[in-house]
């Protein structure tokens, strides 16, 4: 079906065709932006949550995103432990034809479990990331609460490098393929679904990622908004001392908040593994952008982080369009920083920043 | 008075004797001692019992695994040069002056540096190896940007640079240097080799869309592939530059979907290639029909080591590679055997080129009978050899580019092991990929610096 068809109606003229092609391009870039923004928002949400509660600028947060992705890689490695049959035609080194034991024992069921490794990893990642987050907070970061921000940045940045190198020593530097389940590894014809023609397709997994990001963001907000625990955390974010004077152990709750932030970053990483084959450096690639998101959204503001995440994701996608780059070459590489400069000049506390945060 | 005269005569006679002796001493090496004119040059090993080579490879960063493989190959080469191990390609190399007792009777030692795949870091580590460790030759790297930067430094410092993995035309084109040599092929050769295969597989009536890494190698490859595909009759719909290390390429891939193109050419290498290819497949490009044809993806430079990251997405995709472990010539078999027995897995194309470069440098020193760089350079220029994979090979004197057969490969549909990722479709003969020496411009510069 041509791009100019809509719900059985024909649009033969070239101008209509062009309009629909442009519309397709805009819708696709909007989806790209939302998808990218979803990842930024999930990482920035945890960053700003930690900053808002504990006052710590956590540069190891990107490493948590990476560790999440490697939860999926690890589970994949475990599930694909294989029976090895030596390829006798190769004599100079050992090459094996590998068949996973799961497939040998359980046939198609075993193959399906391996195929669904990324969604299954979510279950594994939650306790692991919680444990990592709590251990990180109790073992290292709590010792730096009363230290200057510069020292917090140094120690967390160092921690990120240590975590990266540990992963590299186990898994190597190359990206590791971690595919989505076969049934949803292709593209959805959203054009047909929306009655916009056949040419509008978008990968299923990216749509799922967008939905997933929305659900996780909603869950975090609901948790903070509708539970007693959340109420205490929010109160602690406003005035930690007063909440402490009421006899509430704020510190313990904040440790759990750190664990929750780690889970959110980890889940973002698990789900991103099919889009970006994980490598040890992937967290650092996202960290800088996520910090810009937090600053643009307003330090310590949860809605601000989410709004800024999606805003910057969308702007980055549109700035990458050939038509835009033809007018402003190289804009795709600076748009995020340009927007950050403009917003900070007009709203120094960011989009939704609170007075008093980082202003001592 | 007579006493004075006697003294004067003796002085004159003595002066003449001393002068004659000095002239004889000064001129003797020129005639009788091979290479002695080269007594004074940077890092001259003199009477030392060993010589040091500098292996400058990415030990950190995205190409660390490829760098580690290069280092393995270098260590193996040093072993073989010193007469240890099974000798590897020393047993198959033709036109060989090496004796398996080091180089010019000196034991080969090495130091390593980390390029981090960054030009400034690579130059710093090369400079450190030259100035502090006293290396005679620098080699390695996994990027054209790095190779060009280090090659320039080596020219300034009068140290020979044997490039590792570098594929941009510029390395032996506009940025070529007298002190730099490249065994690896280049984008011009990739284009010349790949063009006819693409014509055979996909026909003459195609519309290509390029996504190109925005640096010297990407531009070079885009230019070469455009040149050879347009010669076939293909159109180029667009050539979009993408930032190095973009990660998510979705915003660059979606415009391809409805662009009217039916071939996507990914001028990406390493992690960028893994990511862009994985994401292009997710966007359904391999299942898509355009202009009444099956949509195709082409990756002009394939690396088996890096392609592992793309998993099943590389199946059926065409590209070129400098060398593959599955080649059955005697040289390749000897190298794969040595490397495989030493490390338990096959070498990558980066490992192969680095191993060969080390042997070629050492052999040139033996041929020249000296480590004096201008003489070693002259020995390498125009050197013809065989038995090191890729058939009869020549280091062209005019641009220091090696000419040999080029492999067109396809992602293996049914790999028998995790190493069996690329299937060699065609060994394109050297004559098909040769081009005039002045075509890519540049100036080698002087022998003496």
Domain edges within chain B: 50-185+325-404, 188-321
pLDDT at A9: 40
- Provide the pLDDT confidence category of residue B219 given band limits of 50, 70 and 90: very high
Interface test with A, best of B251, B311, B330 (most A CBs within 10 A): B251
Substitution target in B116, B211, B254 with the highest count of A β-carbons within 10 Å is B254
Architecture of domain B188-321: 3-Layer(aba) Sandwich (3.40)
Nearest beta carbon to residue A321 from set B247, B255, B345: B255
pLDDT (average), residues B11-29: 54
pLDDT of residue B21: 57
Q: What is chain B's Cα-based Rg?
A: 25
- Say whether B238 and A36 touch across the interface (CB within 8 A): no
Asked if B255 has any chain A CB less than 8 Å from its own CB, the reply is yes
Residues of A in contact with B278 (CB under 8 A): 177, 275-277
pLDDT per residue as tens, chain A (360 positions): 333 343 444 444 445 556 667 788 889 999 999 999 999 999 999 998 888 888 888 899 999 999 999 999 999 999 999 998 888 888 888 888 889 999 999 999 999 999 999 999 999 999 999 999 999 999 998 888 888 888 989 999 999 999 999 999 999 988 999 999 999 888 888 888 877 777 788 999 999 999 999 999 999 999 988 999 889 888 887 787 888 888 888 888 889 999 999 999 999 999 999 999 999 999 988 888 888 999 999 888 889 999 999 999 999 999 988 888 888 888 888 999 999 999 999 998 888 887 665 555
Residue B33, pLDDT above cutoff 50: no
The reply to whether B188-321 shares the fold of B50-185+325-404 is yes
Using the predicted structure, report yes or no on whether residue B342 has a pLDDT greater than 80.
Answer: yes
Chain A residues in contact with B340 by the CB 8 A cut-off are 92-93
Of A97, A285, A286, the CB nearest to B417: A97
Of A198, A213, A324, nearest to A272 by C-alpha is A213
Quick one: which of B340, B322, B326, B354 has its CA closest to B138? Answer: B354
- Where does B50-185+325-404 sit in CATH, by number? 3.40.50.2300
What pLDDT, on a 0 to 100 scale, did the predictor assign at position A142? 87
Closest chain A C-alpha to B45 CA, distance in angstroms:
37
What's the pLDDT score for residue A69? Answer: 97
- Tokens representing B325? 């472990």
What pLDDT is stored for residue B19 in this prediction? 56
Alpha carbon distance B408, B323 (integer Å): 10
Beta strands in B83-202 (DSSP E): 107-114, 137-140, 160-163, 180-182
**CA-based nearest residue to B271, from B253, B252, B244:** B244
At A107 the three-state DSSP class reads helix
Does B7 or B244 have the greater pLDDT score? B244
Query: Over the stretch B121-157, which tens digit does the pLDDT of each residue have?
Result: 999 999 999 999 999 999 999 999 999 999 999 999 9
For chain A, say whether B235 makes contact (Cβ under 8 Å).
no
Q: Which residue of chain A comes nearest to B275, CA vs CA?
A: A276
Cβ of B251 and A29 within 8 Å? yes
Question: Tokens 């599930």 map to which residue?
Answer: A79
Mean pLDDT, residues B50-71: 93
Residue B5: pLDDT band with limits 50, 70, 90: very low
Say how far apart CA B358 and CA B250 lie, in whole Å. Answer: 41
Residue B272, C-beta contacts closer than 8 angstroms, at least 6 positions apart: B213, B242, B244, B245, B246, B249
What's the CATH number for A14-346?
1.10.3470
- Domain ranges (residues) in chain A: 14-346
Cα distance between residue B166 and residue A97, in whole Å? 33
Q: Could you tell me the pLDDT band of residue B20, with boundaries at 50, 70 and 90?
A: low
Other Cβ atoms closer than 10 A to A169? 10
Lowest mean pLDDT among A133-137, A242-246, B98-102, B318-322: A242-246
Does A177 contact B418 at a Cβ distance shorter than 8 Å?
A: no
B258 vs A3, A33, A179: nearest CB: A3
Cα(B40)–Cα(B38) distance, rounded to whole angstroms? 5
């Amino acid at each position: 079906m041509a791009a100019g068809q809509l719900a059985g109606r024909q649009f033969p003229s070239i101008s209509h065709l062009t309009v629909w092609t442009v519309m397709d391009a805009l819708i696709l870039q909007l989806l790209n932006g939302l998808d990218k923004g979803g990842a930024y928002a999930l990482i920035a949400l945890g960053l700003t949550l930690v900053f808002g509660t504990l006052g710590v600028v956590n540069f190891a947060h990107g490493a948590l995103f990476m560790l999440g992705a490697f939860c999926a890689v690890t589970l994949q490695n475990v599930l694909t432990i294989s029976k090895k049959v030596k390829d006798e035609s190769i004599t100079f080194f050992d090459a094996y034809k590998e068949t996973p034991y799961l497939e040998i024992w359980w046939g198609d069921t075993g193959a399906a479990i391996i195929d669904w490794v990324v969604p299954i990893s979510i279950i594994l990642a939650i306790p692991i990331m919680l444990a990592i987050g709590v251990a990180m907070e109790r073992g290292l970061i709590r010792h730096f609460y009363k230290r200057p921000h510069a020292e917090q940045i140094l120690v967390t940045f160092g921690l990120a490098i240590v975590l990266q190198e540990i992963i590299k020593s186990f898994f190597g530097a190359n990206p590791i393929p971690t595919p989505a389940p076969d049934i949803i590894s292709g593209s959805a014809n959203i054009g047909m679904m929306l009655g916009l023609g056949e040419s509008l397709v978008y990968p299923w997994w990216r749509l799922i990622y967008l939905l997933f990001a929305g659900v996780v963001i909603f869950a975090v907000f609901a948790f903070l908004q509708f539970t007693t625990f959340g109420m205490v955390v929010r109160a602690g974010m406003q005035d930690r001392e007063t909440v402490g004077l009421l006899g509430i152990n704020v510190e313990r709750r904040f440790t759990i908040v750190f664990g929750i932030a780690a889970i959110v970053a980890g889940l973002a990483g698990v789900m991103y593994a099919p889009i970006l084959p994980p490598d040890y450096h992937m967290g650092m690639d996202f960290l800088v952008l996520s910090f810009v998101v937090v600053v643009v959204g307003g330090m310590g503001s949860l809605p601000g982080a989410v709004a800024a995440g999606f805003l910057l994701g969308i702007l980055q996608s549109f700035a990458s369009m050939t038509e835009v780059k033809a007018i402003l070459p190289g804009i795709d590489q600076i748009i995020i920083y340009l927007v950050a400069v403009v917003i900070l000049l007009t709203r120094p506390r960011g989009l939704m920043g609170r007075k008093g945060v980082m202003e001592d | 008075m007579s006493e004075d005269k006697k003294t004067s005569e003796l002085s004159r006679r003595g002066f003449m004797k001393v002068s004659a002796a000095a002239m004889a001493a000064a001129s003797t090496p020129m005639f009788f001692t091979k290479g002695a004119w080269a007594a004074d040059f940077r890092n001259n090993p003199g009477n030392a019992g060993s010589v040091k080579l500098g292996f400058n490879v990415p030990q950190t960063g995205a190409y660390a695994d490829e760098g580690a493989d290069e280092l393995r190959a270098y260590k193996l080469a040093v072993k073989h040069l010193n007469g240890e191990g099974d000798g590897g390609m020393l047993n198959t190399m033709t036109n060989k002056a090496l004796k398996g007792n080091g180089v010019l009777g000196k034991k080969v030692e090495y130091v390593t540096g980390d390029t981090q795949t960054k030009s400034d870091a690579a130059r710093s580590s090369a400079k450190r190896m030259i100035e502090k460790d006293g290396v005679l030759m620098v080699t390695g790297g996994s990027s054209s940007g790095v190779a060009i930067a280090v090659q320039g430094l080596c020219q300034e410092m009068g140290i020979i640079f044997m490039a590792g993995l570098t594929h941009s035309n510029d390395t032996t084109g506009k940025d070529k240097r007298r002190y730099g040599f490249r065994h690896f092929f280049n984008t011009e050769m990739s284009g010349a080799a790949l063009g006819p295969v693409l014509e055979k597989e996909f026909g003459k009536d195609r519309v290509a869309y390029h996504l190109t890494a925005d640096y010297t190698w990407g531009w070079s490859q885009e230019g070469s592939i455009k040149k050879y595909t347009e010669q076939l009759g293909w159109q180029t719909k667009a050539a979009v530059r993408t930032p190095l290390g973009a990660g998510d390429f979705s915003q660059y891939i979606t415009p391809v979907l409805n662009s009217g193109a039916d071939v996507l050419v990914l001028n990406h290498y390493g992690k960028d290639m893994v990511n862009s290819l994985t994401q292009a497949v997710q966007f359904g490009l391999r299942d898509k029909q355009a202009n009444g044809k099956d949509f195709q993806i082409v990756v002009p430079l394939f690396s088996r080591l890096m392609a592992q990251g793309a998993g099943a997405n590389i199946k059926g995709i065409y590209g070129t590679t400098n060398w593959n472990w599955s080649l059955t010539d005697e040289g390749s078999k000897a190298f794969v055997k040595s490397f495989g027995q030493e490390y338990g897995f096959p070498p990558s194309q980066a490992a192969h080129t680095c191993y060969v470069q080390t042997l070629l440098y050492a052999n040139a020193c033996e041929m020249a009978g000296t480590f004096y760089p201008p003489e070693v350079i002259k020995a390498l220029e125009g050197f013809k050899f065989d038995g090191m994979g890729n058939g009869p090979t020549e280091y062209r004197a005019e641009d220091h580019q090696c000419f040999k057969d080029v492999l067109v490969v396809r992602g293996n549909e049914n790999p028998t092991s995790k190493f069996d990722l690329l299937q060699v479709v065609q060994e394109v003969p050297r004559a098909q990929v040769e081009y005039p020496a002045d075509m890519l411009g540049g100036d080698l510069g002087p022998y003496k610096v």
